[in-house]
Amino acid sequence: MATTINADTSSGLILTSDTSGEIELQSGGTTKLTINSSGVVGAGLSWQSSIVTASTLTAVAGKGYWINTTSNTCTITLPSSATVGDQLVFTDYARTWGTNKVIIDSNGLNYQGGPDTMTVEYNTNGQSLDIVYSGATKGWIPNTDEATVRYIPDYDIDYLVVGGGGGGGLNSGAGGGAGGFRTSTQSMPTGGSLVTIVVGDGGATSSASGSASSVSATGLTTISSAGGGGGGNFAIAGKTGGSGGGGGTASDIGSVGAGGAGNTPSTSPSQGNNGGTGNPNTSIGDPYTAVSGGGGGGAGAVGVAGADSNGGNGGAGTASSITGSSVTRAGGGGGGIYNASGTIGSGGAGGGGAGARGSDAATAGTVNTGGGGGGTGVGGSGSAGGKGVVILSMPTASYSALISGSPTVTTSGANTILTFTGSGTYSG
């Protein structure tokens, strides 16, 4: 900070004092002259005493900054509004910009006449960048930008994010709900973002819900798909989630085990559907002969309710062609049944596991589809939900190949596709 004398355009002369030993003369809030404690006069700039070592910097007009990129790149966000004559200076403090570059985010204003869909990077050791705002047409213009500078167009990147499927219930239990299914397209600043990918696990046996998958990065909207809800057990409702788990069979004649709510938390478009209710148990003799669990919800359809001796089918998943071919994912798990002569609930298209009868083992949700696990008949445990998946697709011409987490890398037409079956990163 500094002692500031500001000729404010609305309030007149304003004096703001401190003990830094530095004086700033301002006009309308813009620094025009500085005098430091050594008596050095600087026109229009106030050099900051602290060295910037962080990965991000929000710059203030009229300041000079020392940028040390020894440990990481630095993305500099320029002011969102500027007045003609506003000036900023950035200097390579440690001569490391050639190793870890500086990236300029023009924050809605033009830069050298280029629009804010352009990433500007400085990547040569010993650079000094001195920029002045010229007005709306050209925006920020360098007085000096020594050595190499790259102007790189931003590009669109497509995302498919599927959460882990919910586990199926036990004892005529219900199918698990599918993991949430979300897809979108966002603008990616070239060289400007580290994208973090989290792939959610499927729920374990006995009605455990799956965990969320997500994609996040500075400057991008985080996309998170919730884990699927676990399927209900005997007399227990299904759990909420990306898609809801099916309801467990009723404990009393005429009662109903409720299916879990899907699209929880709520997203638009919806990330999933509700689970089906459990069988209301209409048996007059053996009260357990006809019991059956409801099907788990899928990304594309609700789970089917259980009926006398018949488990509810899992809801169908949703197809995506992000990899270049159509693949259906996020199907709900089928409900289990007590009666050996009944019909088990089938798993929903897209990796949902089938239910089971009696003491048979239910089918787990398919790995990396986010499919819900099937419910079991009597005894044992419900099956596990399938692990989720995250897929990124981008123009091959813009693909950086800077990845971690060992995704599968394929191409389709002019695009490169990264399929993450475990957590990792991508640097744009």
Query: What pLDDT sits at residue 146?
Result: 63
Whether 169 and 232 have beta carbons less than 8 Å apart is answered as yes
Domains and CATH numbers, the chain: 45-152 (2.60.120.640), 154-428 (no CATH)
- Per-residue pLDDT tens for 31-75? 666 666 655 445 557 889 899 999 999 999 989 999 999 999 999
Query: What pLDDT sits at residue 190?
Result: 61
Percent of the chain exceeding pLDDT 70 equals: 88
CA distance 306 to 302: 13
Confidence of residue 384 (pLDDT cuts 50, 70, 90): very high
Whether 151 and 289 have beta carbons less than 8 Å apart is answered as no
- Per-residue pLDDT tens for 296-340? 999 999 999 998 889 999 999 999 999 999 999 999 999 998 877
CA distance 340 to 417: 46
Average pLDDT, the chain: 88
Q: Residue 365: pLDDT above 50?
A: yes
Which pairing describes strands 389-395 and 155-162: parallel, antiparallel, or unpaired? Answer: antiparallel
Q: Residue 263: pLDDT above 80?
A: yes
Query: What pLDDT sits at residue 40?
Result: 47
Query: What pLDDT sits at residue 19?
Result: 75
Confidence of residue 159 (pLDDT cuts 50, 70, 90): very high
CA distance 361 to 302: 24
Query: What pLDDT sits at residue 237?
Result: 92
Mean pLDDT calculated for residue range 265-277: 97
Q: What is the CA radius of gyration of the chain?
A: 29
Residue with tokens 């709510």: 261
Query: What pLDDT sits at residue 22?
Result: 72
CA distance 306 to 295: 7
- Taking the chain, what is the end-to-end CA distance rounded to the nearest angstrom? 35
* CB atoms near residue 206 (< 10 Å): 21
Residue 216's SS3 state is strand
- Per-residue pLDDT tens for 113-152? 877 666 788 888 998 899 999 999 999 998 877 655 666 6
- Per-residue pLDDT tens for 355-364? 998 888 899 9
Highest mean pLDDT among 10-14, 98-102, 366-370: 366-370
Q: Which residues, in sequence order, are bridge partners of residue 409?
A: 418
